[in-house]
Amino acid sequence: MKRPSPLRHLIGSCAAGLRTRRASARPTRHQRGGSGDPPRKGWAIVAIVLALLAATTATAAERVALPQFKSGYERPSTEVPPPLGHFYDVMDGLALVVGLAVASYMAIRARSRRGMWWLALVSLVYLGFWRGGCLCSIGSIQNVALALFRGEYITPVAIVAFTLPLVFTLFFGRTFCAGVCPLGAIQELVVIRPLKVPLWLDHALGLLAYVYLGAAVLFAATGAAFIICDYDPFVSIFRLLPLRRPGDAMEALGGSANMLIVGGAFLAAGLFIGRPYCRWLCPYGAILRVLGRFSKWRVTITPEECIKCRLCEDACPFGAIRRPTEPLPRGTRRIERRRLAVLLVVVPAVLAAGAGLGWWLGAPMSRMHVTVRQAERVHLEETGQVEGTDNLSDGFYNTHRPREELYAEAKAIQAGFARGGLILGAWVGLVVAAKLIQLSVRRTRTDFEPDRGTCVSCGRCFAYCPIERERWKKGAGGEKKP
């Protein structure tokens, strides 16, 4: 853009193209008043004071001189309201403790499917629709990563949200998923006609959650993004119903229409596939799946003898019931042993392959960080490969920092991503290898049992168990109907 002299022409063209290069889009006071347009009255006097004030004010040269008031007018100061209080933090923490306690009681002691259903509904209404899904143990992984890898501060409520469900899972199994987590609850309540997902597919897709977990930690630890929050499918649905602030509709479609569509798709899929997000994507669920294997107590289908009617297996929408194992055919054991030995030998190779792939992907992944994108854009502009500026580079030029500083910063971030990508890749390799080994180790089961890791303690299996129903009829369960 050239510099037109008449004021009106200048303004008109600026209105059309304010995004053009800063140097030309910002005329000085002299250009504006200098030619064509007479200076506004009073500015001449004011200009004299400019030199005096320039020495005293903190900011760089003012375009318009700061007036001195004779009428005794005092400049107001800028209001700075403090952040909202911690009322909801305390409420959320309490809700989490109470919810976990009730869920564990329903799953282990009361063995009440109905109780669990109601708890899920309450959690969905409070943690989901009322609080907008933002007491989020799933998202807290990222806050923990920030604190661990970048030494940033973490709020007490994030610590509670992260650790408390872990502790409860170690004692009672994944009761958090069953009735407390609002993301689990919304999927729990829409399961209408669950279809069986083939076991191999279930196992394979389940690995995605570990990849997602690794990626979430990487992006949080490099300060690039909180991808769990960015790509949370249900938060946009929670925010559609503005329960907490009825006059103040949250989440106008603006920012996250895409995620609303994704959330709707997850819910629609959830009609036929039980908890797709929990089983295959949830990064916190991935942690709980591991910890759930060691839990002290857990959901049992019936405390009495299993009659192997398979009703529980059909009732479980999440494919978490494992069948009793059949006796081994002769000679299979040797084959299985050899397979396991081969797998153990190739584990290092899988890890190395993953690490290499991750390292290679480090550079493209680093573009998630805004500083890297900014540096790339500024570099393109500096070397004349692109014309003009965009929002990204303008954001940098506004800071008046030297380019080299930005480049150095971006380099450091990219190096972090190369390191992190290496670790992420090795992690993915480890997960794949561990899965293969887990699948090749034979477990012996005499009864139908919930899988310790996959079971979310929803309670459908014991609600459908005929032995359990008999027990209830005798009054043992203290509940008439499941």
Return the residues of window 366-405 that contact another protein according to CB under 8 A: 370-371, 373-374, 390-392, 394-396, 398-400
Which tokens sit at 1? 């853009």
At its nearest, how many Å lie between another protein and the CB of residue 81?
Answer: 4
* Pick 25 or 101: Cβ nearer another protein: 25
For the chain, what is the radius of gyration of the CA atoms?
Answer: 30
Which tokens sit at 420? 């992190």
> What residues from 111 to 140 belong to the interface with another protein (CB under 8 A)?
132, 134, 136, 139-140
Interface with another protein (CB under 8 A), residue from 3, 38, 55, 83: 83
Asked if 143 interacts with another protein (CB under 8 A), we say yes
> What residues from 202 to 261 belong to the interface with another protein (CB under 8 A)?
225-226, 229-230, 239, 248-252, 254-256
Count interface residues toward another protein (CB under 8 A): 97
* Pick 56 or 383: Cβ nearer another protein: 56
Dihedral sign of CA atoms 218, 427, 418, 230 in order: negative
Q: How many CB atoms lie within 10 A of CB 303?
A: 11
Q: Which stretch binds another protein (CB under 8 A): 7-15, 92-100, 300-308, 310-318?
A: 7-15
Q: What is the 3-state secondary structure (H, E, C) of the chain?
A: CCCCCCHHHHHHHHHHCCCCCHHHHCCCHHHHHHCCCCCCCCHHHHHHHHHHHHHHCCCCCCCCCCCCCCCCCCCCCCCCCCCCCCHHHHHHHHHHHHHHHHHHHHHHHCCCHHHHHHHHHHHHHHHHHHCCCCCCHHHHHHHHHHHHHHCCCCCHHHHHHHHHHHHHHHHHCCHHHHHCCHHHHHHHHHCCCCCCCCHHHHHHHHHHHHHHHHHHHHHHHCCCCCHHHHCCCCHHHHCCCCCCCCCCCCCCCCCCHHHHHHHHHHHHHHCCCCCHHHHHCCHHHHHHHHHHCCCCCCCCCCCCCCCCCCHHHHHCCCCCEECCCCCCCCCHHHHHHHHHHHHHHHHHHHHHHHHHHHHHHHHHHHCCCHHHHHHHHHHHHHCCCCCCCCHHHHHHHCCCCCHHHHHHHHHHHHHHHHHHHHHHHHHHHHHHHHHHHHHHCCCCCCCCEECCCCCCCCCHHHHHCHHHHHHHHCCCCCCCCC
* Pick 275 or 377: Cβ nearer another protein: 377
Interface with another protein (CB under 8 A), residue from 147, 197, 316, 350: 147
> What residues from 403 to 422 belong to the interface with another protein (CB under 8 A)?
none
Asked if 142 interacts with another protein (CB under 8 A), we say yes
* Pick 395 or 477: Cβ nearer another protein: 395
Interface with another protein (CB under 8 A), residue from 1, 14, 306, 423: 14
Asked if 305 interacts with another protein (CB under 8 A), we say no
Asked if 190 interacts with another protein (CB under 8 A), we say no
At its nearest, how many Å lie between another protein and the CB of residue 179?
Answer: 21
Q: Which stretch binds another protein (CB under 8 A): 104-112, 149-157, 275-283, 303-311?
A: 149-157
Asked if 163 interacts with another protein (CB under 8 A), we say yes
At its nearest, how many Å lie between another protein and the CB of residue 239?
Answer: 6
Q: How far apart are CA 386 and CA 207, in angstroms?
A: 41
* Pick 154 or 271: Cβ nearer another protein: 154
Interface with another protein (CB under 8 A), residue from 6, 34, 36, 42: 42
Interface with another protein (CB under 8 A), residue from 98, 265, 268, 294: 294
* Pick 327 or 384: Cβ nearer another protein: 327
Asked if 330 interacts with another protein (CB under 8 A), we say no
Q: Which stretch binds another protein (CB under 8 A): 91-99, 113-121, 200-208, 365-373?
A: 365-373
* Pick 375 or 436: Cβ nearer another protein: 375
Interface with another protein (CB under 8 A), residue from 221, 291, 355, 463: 291
Question: 322 pairs with which residues across the strands?
Answer: 449
At its nearest, how many Å lie between another protein and the CB of residue 373?
Answer: 8
Q: Which stretch binds another protein (CB under 8 A): 265-273, 301-309, 325-333, 422-430?
A: 325-333
Interface with another protein (CB under 8 A), residue from 48, 55, 58, 192: 58
Asked if 75 interacts with another protein (CB under 8 A), we say yes
At its nearest, how many Å lie between another protein and the CB of residue 9?
Answer: 9
Looking up tokens 């500096």, which residue turns up? 382
* Pick 368 or 422: Cβ nearer another protein: 368
* Amino acid present at 3: R
* Amino acid present at 54: A
Q: How far apart are CA 464 and CA 77, in angstroms?
A: 67
Q: How many CB atoms lie within 10 A of CB 191?
A: 17
At its nearest, how many Å lie between another protein and the CB of residue 237?
Answer: 13
Interface with another protein (CB under 8 A), residue from 159, 357, 361, 437: 159
